[in-house]
Amino acid sequence: MSIHDFGFAATRVASQAARRVLPAAFAALAAAIGSPPAGAADSQLVERGKYLVTIASCTDCHTPGHFLGKPDMTRHLGGSEVGFEIPDVGVFYGSNLTPDEETGLGRWSERDIVTAIRTGKRPDGRMLAPIMPWAALAELTDSDAGAIAAYLKSLPAVSNKVPGPFGPGEASTSFVMKIVAPAEK
């Protein structure tokens, strides 16, 4: 084999190797350049959850002061001091949805939150108050339910133990909105 033949063969082998390696290298480079920075996916998930919580009006029932016309946004989603009385069922207050360990969802996993949102069942086996629209929220996609859970876990913890729940006939300790059936004619 001459030097010329050797050089041609080496070039051909290098060219074949480049055809196998370069596409993968370019694909990896494009993926790295096109990928969001670390944490951006989590940030996008939390932002999606914030959007969903906002359009679902979760603050209405779960933010102190909302039903009194003065929402306390320093305790956003920290639980309500206004309860709902449902005849023959009891009085229920919007719970603290922040990750506070003692009074909120701090001990719940994201999976626990998704389960409660979609089935109405808490990690301790109790059912959520009937006023909670979990049956409608059961229609959320896995991604959207997960985004809500991620958002709730990202909130600043608010220490706020809400009253109740109170059974039928038990005296509540705070404001109550009553649901009253219309009088029969």
Higher-confidence residue of 28 and 109: namely: 109
State the chain's mean pLDDT as an integer. Answer: 83
Q: Please, which pLDDT band fits residue 173 given cuts at 50, 70 and 90?
A: confident
Residues paired with 177 in a beta bridge: 84
Write down the pLDDT at residue 126: 93
Average pLDDT over residues 42-48: 95
Q: Which of 24-28, 113-117, 142-146 has the lowest average pLDDT?
A: 24-28
Which of the given ranges, 10-14, 73-77, 128-132, 174-178, has the highest pLDDT on average? 73-77
Average pLDDT over residues 107-136: 94
Write down the pLDDT at residue 182: 82
Average pLDDT over residues 144-156: 97
Contact 110, 104 (CB under 8 A): no
Write down the pLDDT at residue 169: 87
Residue 2 has pLDDT above 60, yes or no: no
The whole model's pTM is what? 0.74
Average pLDDT over residues 150-173: 94
Higher-confidence residue of 56 and 13: namely: 56
